[in-house]
Amino acid sequence: MYSVPEITGATRLVGIVADPIAHVRTPQSLNRLFAVRGIDAVMVPMHVPSAYLASWFAGLRRIGNLDGIVATVPHKEAIAALCDDLGPEARLVGAANVVRRAPDGRMIGEMFDGRGFVGGLRSQGIDPAGHRVLLIGAGGAAAAIAFALAAAGVAHLTIANRTAVKAEKLANRVATAFPGVAVDAGDPDPRGCSLVVNGTSLGLKPDDPLPVRVERLEGAAIVAEVVMQPARTALLEAAAGMGCRMHEGFHMLEAQLALLAEFLTASDLPVPTTAQPNL
């Protein structure tokens, strides 16, 4: 158990921005970590539609007791474009899921989704090395996961996206960064894949369509989510019905909580460089 800290005038603020926002689970987890570590900070959810993101972001620069924000769907790519500087992973991916506000108001973005996703797999005894992977999505989180899976040594990575051109561009970028990994863009067909990853927000709403044709899943496959609420999405339930192993989206968050906390609250972090990260 941990004691709930008292919020005072000295408490540092951290936000999480999304649209919608009610489903996010990061505040519960990060506030628990702050309390356990004795960090006088609190995370609060902020519901900001895309049309107001730039003006909202500009206002954050003037909040002196704000340490930064975590960004989630659909803002990760747009947030990166608004930052003054990006860390190596955010620069490589072209998206950010966390932004640290420097004392002078500069906003520095970084991306931990890829590292978190691979770390989440490994925490459950799943080594992505050697897998044939189907990744659904080419947005911010999916892009981070694509680079991280390539860095982890998957044998083959197919990226499928509703907009095929976006999948092709991402596949080319990953292939350039990791020439030793076979990467292509293709259809959301899981046949022949040992690891299937939903890197989209499909599954967040009860009436969302399934991101893959589950009847084509192979029984030995692992099906992984980035959606955290509900914990067992329709895709995971359908995959279980096909005999597949389920991997819930919350593992990705668990694996990056400490990274987020340290990035947001450390006072002596260096300004990120443009060097390619070791994902």
Cβ–Cβ under 8 Å, residues 263 and 115: no
> Which stretches of 81-228 are assigned E, i.e. beta strand?
85-86, 98-101, 107-110, 132-136, 156-160, 182-185, 195-198, 222-225
What digits encode the pLDDT tens for the residues 236-247? 999 999 999 999
Residues marked as catalytic: 76
Q: What pLDDT, on a 0 to 100 scale, did the predictor assign at position 269?
A: 42
Phi, psi dihedrals of residue 226, rounded to the nearest 5°:
-110, -20
Instruction: Look at the block and give the residue holding tokens 């399934």.
Output: 210
Spell out the domains of the chain, with CATH numbers in brackets.
Answer: 12-111 (3.40.50.10860), 114-252 (3.40.50.720)
Q: What pLDDT, on a 0 to 100 scale, did the predictor assign at position 257?
A: 93
Task: Tell me how long the chain is.
Answer: 279
The 8-class DSSP code of residue 196 comes to E
Residue 271 has pLDDT above 60, yes or no: no
Residue 71 has pLDDT above 50, yes or no: yes
Pairwise CA distance, residues 221 & 135, whole Å: 13
Q: For the beta carbon of residue 102, count every other beta carbon within 10 angstroms.
A: 16
Cα 198 to chain centroid distance, Å, stands at 12
